[in-house]
Amino acid sequence: MQAGKLEDARQDFADVVTLAPQLPEGHVALGAILVQLGKPEKAIPELEKALALKPGDRGTEANLATAHEAEARDLASAGRLADAEAQFHAALGFLPVLAPDARRSELEDELGSVLAQEKRWPESEVAFREALRLALPDEKTVGPHMHLGVVLVEEKQFPSAIVELNKAVDAAPDNALAQMQLGRGLAAAGRDEEAEPHLREALKLSPQLPGCALELAMALQRLGRQEESIPLFQQALGADPKDAQALTNLGLALTQTGKAKDAGPYLSQALAERPNDPVIHEDMGVAELQQSHFDDAIIQFEKARELDSANPQLHYDLGLAYKLKDRTDDAAKELAQAASLDPTLPDPPYTLGILYMQTGKLDAAAAQLKIALQLRPTNGDGWAVLGSVLKQLDKRDESASALRKAIELMPDQPGPHITLAGVLAEDGKKDEAAAERKIAAGLSRSAVNRQRAMLNTNAGNQALQRGEIADAVSRFQEAIAADPGYREAHAQLALAYSRQGRSAEAATEQLKAESLHKTN
């Protein structure tokens, strides 16, 4: 054995226990060599015989703990988690109860990991806390803190989870997995902005860390930064082309950035992986809707509704698709069902109100719009529409009140002023009506100027991309002449000036852009 000839040693020790079965040292030696040979399941019976022959022997108990520990790890690797759990408990039973104790701490951590894989969160939490209690004072407890943090996230104990995950990162800031788990915990707690730097750091430390690119992509998507999320979803798919979650979210991000046609193949692949996932059918329907493929959108939404009939959003999506297809009765039924399933959602009654208005059911339209505006009082368009409906119902006081609310929320829109002018004129308030029309005329001119500024800025951006700097400068200057308050035109003119080497003029335009940004 000392010469490293383990198999020869095993045979000799086997002969010993055959010749002298009552000799405990023979069983101990054979058990120890079997552990070294990676056969803990055969070692355990031999060591148990030795302990029966010499009860309480600390050396034999230590060897038994080692054998059970090795067997537990083999079983865990093979996915036999219940058997692995039993072996970890057995190993702990043969170790002296000490505090602190590095070996018991490690075993408790591994036991907790097995329990966590079985989603037995409370029991795994106990094991990880015990691992931390037993850890040596100068020991870096990255693993137990991280594992406990992950379990607490699963139990939705987010403040405690983030404390533990921060301890793991503090102990080992270069540990990519610890950084990723802290990012995941923060994201699960709804703190995506704080999660982003940790997920980026994890990806920087380990670019191929499984799941990290996907976690970062989803955080960015929730933050509304769809364009940034797309290459990260693609990176995630490079590691696992059949990841249904990455396929689905990439398809959604492409749809949200106006690339619904590009989203289709990814969503189709996701459906091939999960044909009965209502979320994928819903996202496919949204992509079809964006392309005005109303019949195809309806097919997808109906399938999603069939799979998850209690989801109010699916009824709303289907109702909207029916509305766009002019199936008004079907649309009204689905929108009403969405509102019934979740009375706190403002969109179903709002869209239902629009539908009733378009079909001439003005009283019903006003009732639904009022419900929607109680749920979302900051909807300026909703107040404008309600004001128009009430005007048609000859409820002039209510109409004027709604329109003034719309004007308060949308001071730059001419429409509510025009409608309010009509209401005031019907009330005989000619001077007030004339004042509203004058305001509307001024706002209309501003809107035209802003549109002209946007068109010229877009043309300037295209010229910049072609390298036609002088033409770009001219376009941006035209945009500013049309609307001096259009921030993007100033910012892009600064960029064009800098490419011409006109640094002083570039700095001036940049300052104007920043000033407008602060004002807005």
First to last CA, the chain: 80
Reported as half-sphere exposure (CB side, CA atoms, 13 A), residue 471 has a value of: 11
**Per-block average pLDDT, block size 10, for the chain (520 residues)?**
93 96 95 94 96 94 94 94 96 89 94 96 96 86 95 96 96 96 97 97 96 97 93 95 96 92 96 95 94 94 96 95 94 96 95 94 96 95 95 95 94 90 92 91 82 90 85 90 89 87 86 79
Tell me how crowded residue 408 is: count the other CB atoms within 10 A of its CB.
11
Reported as half-sphere exposure (CB side, CA atoms, 13 A), residue 89 has a value of: 10
What's this model's pTM, rounded to 2 decimal places?
A: 0.74
Name the token pair of 246. 């990455």
The type of residue at 26 is G
Residues 373 and 386 sit within 8 Å (Cβ to Cβ): yes
Residues 338 and 308 sit within 8 Å (Cβ to Cβ): no
pLDDT of residue 328: 94
pLDDT of residue 124: 97
Distances (CA, A) of 394 to 169, 223, 418, 430: 66, 44, 16, 18
Q: How far apart are CA 268 and CA 253, in angstroms?
A: 15
Q: Which domains does the chain have, with CATH numbers?
A: 1-96 (1.25.40.10), 97-209 (1.25.40.10), 276-345 (1.25.40.10), 354-426 (1.25.40.10), 429-520 (1.25.40.10)
Instruction: Enumerate the H helices of 94-175 as residue ranges.
Output: 102-117, 121-134, 142-154, 158-171
Residues 355 and 332 sit within 8 Å (Cβ to Cβ): yes
pLDDT of residue 520: 62
Helix (H) or strand (E) holding 227: helix 226-239
C-alpha R_g of the chain: 35
| Sign of the torsion formed by the C-alpha atoms of 485, 491, 496 and 502 | positive
